[in-house]
A = this chain, B = another copy of it.
Amino acid sequence: MPEEPKTERGRRTRERIVASAAKLIERRGVEATGLDQVLAEAGASKSQLYHYFADKQALVRAVIAWQTAAIVDGVAERLERIDSWAGLEAWFDTLVAYQQAMDCHVGCPIGSLAAELADTDEAARQDLALSFGTWAGQLRTMLDRFRERGLLGPDTDTEQSAYAVLATIQGGLLLAKTTRDPERLRIALIAAGGYLRSLAPAPER
């Protein structure tokens, strides 16, 4: 039933629908977003939607893939270039500045989707777990670089530390979104940085 677009035109239509759905879901959540709203936003019709997606769940999973690609890929590029504490903190500042610019709306689309879907849509939950996994993997690559350069102790578990940093980012974003205060994110990130620094080899402390 679910079909992949076979022409360029179809591909663009599918893309338009997913992008519109992603935008609306980011703001109002999955349950609160109606298919008719999505189609109005995308300028498409019901038959177009159901031509490319089996049902709403399939569309939601496409949105997850879209958001994952957008965020994780964007973050990866930035993370690759970080190789010092100052560089890490500059990235943290970017995150805080972005939230401030957005007036602390949205937060992290992946995180929001995870909070809403983890207990109600098993397939989506697995997709999101994978998204977090690749994100954590990129953080881990960065931390491996830190370790190589002697910024972290040689016995540091970079995988665990990566998940710890990811958790702190997600929690900070949630608090910032709820209190509408980007400072909450900044404080969380400072704690994440402080934790990592506490993992530095003894002489550097």
Q: In this assembly, does A138 line the interface, its C-beta being within 8 Å of a C-beta of chain B? A: no
Those 4 A-B pairs whose CB atoms lie nearest each other, nearest first:
A171-B171, A31-B31, A167-B171, A115-B115
Check B112 against A115 for contact (C-beta < 8 Å).
yes
Contacts of A114 in B (CB 8 A): 174, 177-178
* A-to-B contact residues, CB < 8 Å: 27-29, 31-32, 105-107, 111-112, 114-116, 118-120, 125, 128-129, 132-133, 160-161, 163-172, 174-175, 177-180, 184-185, 187-188, 190-192, 194-195, 197-199, 205
List the B residue with the shortest CB-CB distance to A162.
B187
Number of copies: 2
> In the bound complex, what is the Cα–Cα distance between A111 and B179 (angstroms)?
12
Check A167 against B187 for contact (C-beta < 8 Å).
yes
Contacts of A194 in B (CB 8 A): 195, 198-199
> In the bound complex, what is the Cα–Cα distance between A37 and B9 (angstroms)?
43
Contacts of A165 in B (CB 8 A): 191
Question: Which residue from B32, B119, B171, B177 sits with its C-beta under 8 Å from A177?
Answer: B119
Contacts of A120 in B (CB 8 A): 28-29, 32
Shortest beta-carbon distance, A74 to chain B, in Å? 20
Check B192 against A191 for contact (C-beta < 8 Å).
yes
Question: Which residue from B115, B164, B168 sits with its C-beta under 8 Å from A111?
Answer: B115
Contacts of A129 in B (CB 8 A): 178-180
> In the bound complex, what is the Cα–Cα distance between A180 and B178 (angstroms)?
24
Check B116 against A115 for contact (C-beta < 8 Å).
yes
Check A170 against B174 for contact (C-beta < 8 Å).
yes
Contacts of A192 in B (CB 8 A): 191, 195
